[in-house]
Amino acid sequence: MEKHIHIVSLDVPYPPDYGGVVDLYYKLKYLHEKGIIIHLHCYEYGRGKQEALLEYCKTVHYYKRSAGWLRFLTGLPYIAGSRAGRELSGSLANDNYPVLLEGIHCTFLLYRGKLAGRKVILRLHNIESEYYRQLAHHSASLFRKIYYRAESILLKRYERKVVPKADLVVTVTEKDAQQCRTDWGVENAVYLPVFTPWNVVTCREGSGTYCLYQGNLSVSENERAVLWLVKNVFSGLSIPLVIAGKHPSLFLQKEVKKYSHIRMVANPSQEQMQQLIEEAQVNLLPSFTRTGIKLKLLHAVFCGRHCVVNSAMAEGSHLEAACFIAEDAAAFRDAVQLLFHRPFSMEDQYHRQHLLAHYFNNRHHAGEMVQWIWNRDV
């Protein structure tokens, strides 16, 4: 018997070039491999229609977000209220297939009770209220602080109401699943690691000639991490540092140019980013938020040599054993000086592969999802 599913995505999940869509894109791939017939629904606001999605999806529907400041008057979180159009409801009304909602962003119909009588699975990418609270705390912009704080307050109230309405809640960390159970009384919360582009470790043996920080540099948290590394770690070192990512601000570019041993690669292609990660000797990824799992960490661990992170980056990821944990600037400096001169060995590679194969197995995770959705009473 054919198995159909509707998947509602907060964004167009192709190309899979940022963390929010990587999990979804590779979920499509491996569910399709299991024979699942996918009807994808995307909110499109700049990435365009993508024919490549038809490789894994039977149908793909696109909807516009209702952006603008009037959305703040609805009393709903902006990320959910801006995805509250009627078109999606009409598209889903033609059958009774299960519905997988990707992110709290896509839950307006669930919130309004418009999905009654059908199985609804909610994939939480974060505890978004906590994520926005931390963004507010760390943002240097007064406007962003106000927005993030207001969104956090609205999300906290919204999450409490909407998350328990799902038949099954699937989180990206065990910590998030536990929070669903304890804070919201959601007994049917389960942990499933993110789907990734990688099935095997490709870390290169030997040594590289630079350290690397990579991420979306337009995100305020990432800009703060770069400035912290530059001013507190590498200003006192002569070891080369490369900073790579999307849309760095002019301010960030000027700060980096002050140091001759630090260079920036702005807007690298996917191929260029892959090469930078593989050839680096040390991947550095400090974080100032403790939410979700960072795909850039998985990328570094699957494809890069030594990784130095703080506990905020690694917490709940099962990747602690693959990383060197450092909590302050002095510890980061010590780790960089130690690892820059330590070749990455075949034994390091074997250890990494063994760890990752246990926790991040795309085909196994797709099989678990199929069992949960079609062979489990929830």
Q: Answer with the residue of higher pLDDT: 67 or 366.
A: 366
- Measured CA to CA, the distance from residue 331 to residue 337 in angstroms comes to 10
Amino acid 98: pLDDT:
97
Half-sphere exposure in the Cβ direction for 211 (13 Å, CA)? 30
Q: How far is CA 318 from the centre of its chain?
A: 15
Domains of the chain: 4-197+361-374 (3.40.50.2000), 211-358 (3.40.50.2000)
| Whole-angstrom distance, CA of residue 78 vs CA of residue 15 | 24
The pLDDT value given to residue 376: 65
pTM of the model: 0.90
pLDDT score for 194: 92
| Portion of the chain with pLDDT greater than 90, in percent | 84
Say what the pLDDT of residue 219 is: 84
Taking the C-alpha atoms of residue 32 and residue 185, their distance in angstroms, rounded to an integer, is 33
Q: Using CA of residue 163, residue 168, residue 171, residue 174, what is the dihedral sign?
A: positive
Split at pLDDT 50, 70, 90, the class of 377 is low
Per-residue b or e along 59-71, where b marks 16 or more CB atoms closer than 10 Å to that residue's CB = ebbebebeeeeeb
Structure confidence by residue, pLDDT tens digits, 271-299 = 999 999 999 999 999 998 877 778 899 99
φ/ψ of 361, rounded to 5, equals -115, 100
